[in-house]
Amino acid sequence: QTHFGFQTVTEEERREKINQVFESVAKKYDVMNDSMTLGIHRLWKDVLVRKMNPSPGTQLLDVAGGTGDIAFRFINYVRSVRERQLQRRLKHHQNLSWQEIAQSYQEDKSPLGGSQVVVCDINKEMLKVGKEKAQDLGYSEGLSWVLGNAEELPFDDDKFDVYTIAFGIRNVTRIDLALQEAYRVLKPGGRFLCLEFSQVSNPLLSRLYDLYSFQVIPVLGEVIAGDWKSYQYLVESIRRFPPQEELKAMIEDAGFFKVDYQNLNSGIVAIHSGFKL
Amino acid sequence: VVRWQLSPPQRPLQASAVLRRVSDEHKKEPLASSSQQQFDSHPADHQPGQEPQGPDPSYTGQGSQESEDYESEEQLQHRILTAALEFVPEHGWTAEAIAEGAKALGLSAAAAGMFQSDGSQLILHFLSQCNTKLSELLEQEQKLVQQGEAEKKPIDQFLRDAVEARLRMVIPYLERWPQALSILLMPHNIPSSLSLLSSMIDDILHYAGDQSTDINWYTRRAVLTGIYNTTELVMMQDSSPDFEDTWRFLENRIADAMKMGDTANQVQSTGEAIVQGLMGAAVTIKNLTGLNQRR
């Protein structure tokens, strides 16, 4: 027995209902994100990638990454770091011998430096929207799309440098299993990053936030996407999700070390980070 | 206790996959295969490799198990930073150097996320390593003197050698040292860098035999800190062979400091003499003008 928003359902029912939710919101997912959070979700995702500070060559697994927001930001970040790296190398190439010039032609000058991001999502519709977006925006290199379940990832052990799950872990039925899978697929030294809605500590802000969540968001859902119930589920699931400290304890249980969290907007959103050591 | 029971049996084996290596390096004991044995041998594995922890961990269970892992986390961080020092000449004191250090230890580069992104922890780690090395060096010298195998150095020679030894440790990173100094001057780093600097100066003066308990304690440390800082700055733009100019500068500053001590005493005694002379002159004049007479 588990929960779906404020209802009590079985685990099977929950998975099915969540599947339906995302199938129906997939096409309007990004538009709704912008309107619900007034565009601030872009800043949250920027903070996540900046915190990750990926270097060229990083292998990223973005779970529940559906429409690819984190993946695209990751690629942009790595591209700019790589450009700076190549420029710095050029600066040293002032007085070169012929041999050194010949060597520099063989050097790896790829724009991503070997970085790769795998976007994994359980919902086909979300992946479809993501792939279309990637084509529109021109992202092709270093990007792959995989259909998979966070509770049972279709990857080998010790494969990835960073595992991110942005606004996805809330929809996982067995969070502990997802955390264990995250631990499994990460390389030693790898980092787990989770961006998710969390509990607001400030009581005044909490009241305003509740008001906004329950009065405004479902209405926006109905008006923009024609789907009141999905967005009702969204705000209810936020309330049902464990608060920061509890999630931190769960991450530690999965075996991660140096687990910490950073509140954004006084707890509306929190970034949890842990390392596989 | 509940937490440990709920976690899957593989946790002790997997969990400290990397941390285990710390104790493996200290002793090559074969790891127990079953998870139950793992629980009991885990504390034993860590024990000899680390400082004594007090009561037997198997009794205190979860608490000390956590503290052992916590200690290993710190140890792992130290190992990463030490490995990162190799890459400093190429990448500078940055998160990139730390990432390279992590890769050198077989960890993912993402482990560099454990540290601050401005590289300040790397510099502070390096500083405390240097200070530790200096203390050990000074202690060894002291032992030799106590055992009578070496002559006790005059104080200016001692100070000169100590500061030179400490500054020489910076030489391999000299190109990137100005960057390090500027990072250390940032407000959030000043408390730590200042405390490392003052403890190093304190060490040197302690081994030099300073037992003052008055204002001299402060003035000596202030003077030596000034000498150390200025010599460091001179060293950074010194291009003479083996930094001869720097060591000559150091010698002169220490000689100045010594003279200043003598001069202070002389000034005091001269001052006293002058005051007495003036008093005498005043009394004589009073006598001459008859002001001193009591009528």
Q: Could you tell me if A133 and A163 are in contact, meaning their C-beta atoms sit under 8 angstroms apart?
A: no
Q: Which residue is closest to B104 within chain A, CA to CA?
A: A189
Mean pLDDT score, B25-32: 42
Q: Which of B43-47, B120-124, B233-237 has the lowest mean pLDDT?
A: B43-47
**Measured between alpha carbons, how far is A30 from A224 in angstroms, rounded to an integer?**
11
**Measured between alpha carbons, how far is A133 from A151 in angstroms, rounded to an integer?**
26
Distance from CA of B15 to the nearest CA of A (A): 5
Taking CA atoms, A264 is separated from A45, A214, A244, in Å, by 11, 21, 12
Indicate if the pLDDT at residue B40 is higher than 50. no
**Measured between alpha carbons, how far is A271 from A193 in angstroms, rounded to an integer?**
7
- Residue B6: the pLDDT is 43
Q: CA angle, corner B45, sides to B41 and B51, nearest 5?
A: 135
Residues B264-288 have pLDDT tens digits of 778 888 888 888 899 999 888 888 8
Could A189 and B69 be called an inter-chain contact, meaning their C-beta atoms sit closer than 8 Å?
no
What are the domain boundaries of chain B?
73-117, 119-264
**Measured between alpha carbons, how far is A18 from A171 in angstroms, rounded to an integer?**
7
Distance from CA of A188 to the nearest CA of B (A): 5
DSSP letter string over A183-194?
HHHEEEEEEEEE
Q: Could you read off the pLDDT tens digit of each residue along chain A, which spans 277 residues?
A: 888 888 888 888 888 888 888 888 888 888 888 888 899 999 999 999 999 999 998 999 999 988 899 999 999 999 999 998 888 877 777 777 788 778 777 777 788 888 999 999 999 999 999 999 999 999 988 899 999 999 999 999 999 999 999 999 999 989 999 999 999 999 999 999 999 999 998 899 999 999 999 999 988 888 888 888 888 888 888 888 999 999 999 999 999 999 999 999 999 999 999 999 8
0.80 surpassed by pTM = no
**Minimal Cβ distance to B18: which of A58, A183, A189:** A189
Could B107 and A162 be called an inter-chain contact, meaning their C-beta atoms sit closer than 8 Å?
no
Helix axes of A124-137 and A11-25: crossing angle, nearest 10 degrees = 30
Distance from CA of B162 to the nearest CA of A (A): 37
- Residue A6: the pLDDT is 85
Could B110 and A188 be called an inter-chain contact, meaning their C-beta atoms sit closer than 8 Å?
no
- Residue B13: the pLDDT is 39
Interface of B with A (CB under 8 A): 3, 6-8, 11, 14-19, 69, 73, 76, 95-96, 99, 102, 105-114, 117
Identify the structural domains of chain A with CATH numbers, from first to last.
39-198+241-276 (3.40.50.150)
Q: What pairing do the DSSP bridges indicate for beta strands A186-197 and A160-166?
A: parallel
- ipTM score over 0.90, yes or no: no
Distance from CA of B170 to the nearest CA of A (A): 24
Q: How many CB pairs under 8 A join A and B?
A: 74
- Residue B24: the pLDDT is 46
What band does B190 get if pLDDT is binned at 50, 70 and 90?
A: very high
